[in-house]
Structure 1
Amino acid sequence: MDSHLREQFQNLRVSISPSKAGNCIYQLFVQNTGNFPLSEISIHYGPLLHPGYFGLDATHMPRDIWVKPAIFIASLLPSQTIIMDVEGSDAHERYDGPEVTRVAIDMQLHTENGQEMGYFLAPVNVTLLNARKNNYYY
């Protein structure tokens, strides 16, 4: 992968924090730390707030209860941060997942030959009180 494509991936920062909108609502922060706009970003955040990270057994849960649709961001300008509320599986204080994890992202990449869609796993910082401090990626 050339350095320009790698830079596009590395300039996207994602984090999760509690929201004041409700005890099962979380703030998802998406930031472009680079100097070029990013576009057509789909963030598959559902696994970040999966029932298993709250001590819940999802084995017999209907898939539509805990599988969340991807969040789509049309454009993210340099230094821009978008903050949105997303639904989690349980209360903030019940979260028992990792403090640092990854999230799947589809994003339009600007290549030498034009544009193409790329898929990658972006690091995510989870700033919740009981997040596990082991700091390893899934």
Structure 2
Amino acid sequence: MATIRHHFRATEEGTFHKRLTALTRMLGVAAAMVVLVVGAVPQAQASPSAAYIGDGYPNNPHGVWCVQHLINDVYEDIYPRMRPIPEDGLWGPNTKWGVKWFQDQVYLYPDGIVGRATGQKILEEGDSYYGGHNYCYSYVPNE
């Protein structure tokens, strides 16, 4: 208690208690503000209804990047130090080729479209840091 009193330089017992009460109120208000701000930030949620990825689809850049990254991880497991798809978030012929290659590897029809079945397999087979139920789960269609 002596250090708190010294910190506030309170010379009288009443002044010290007034300052301590005011400080407690300010901390309470600050804590309430933190709760309000944190509560107002939307939380990321999984989205099994993420749009398909491929020719003719909206192709969210995050989803395309996830597909590129996760397929590259699978490819690199088979062919070390090789990542054939540029991870640029843009749908194009290299990404479509990678999706078809992946679909063939996991015995899915190789149509080059990331639908729910292909997306689920990509999330399962790619690295666990981005795949699975982590970052990419919200952007890649899945079951």
TM-score in terms of structure 1 length: 0.31
Which structure has the highest strand share of the two?
A: 1
**Larger radius of gyration, structure 1 or 2?**
2
Q: Which structure ranks higher in relative contact order (CA pairs < 8 Å, sequence separation ≥ 6)?
A: 1
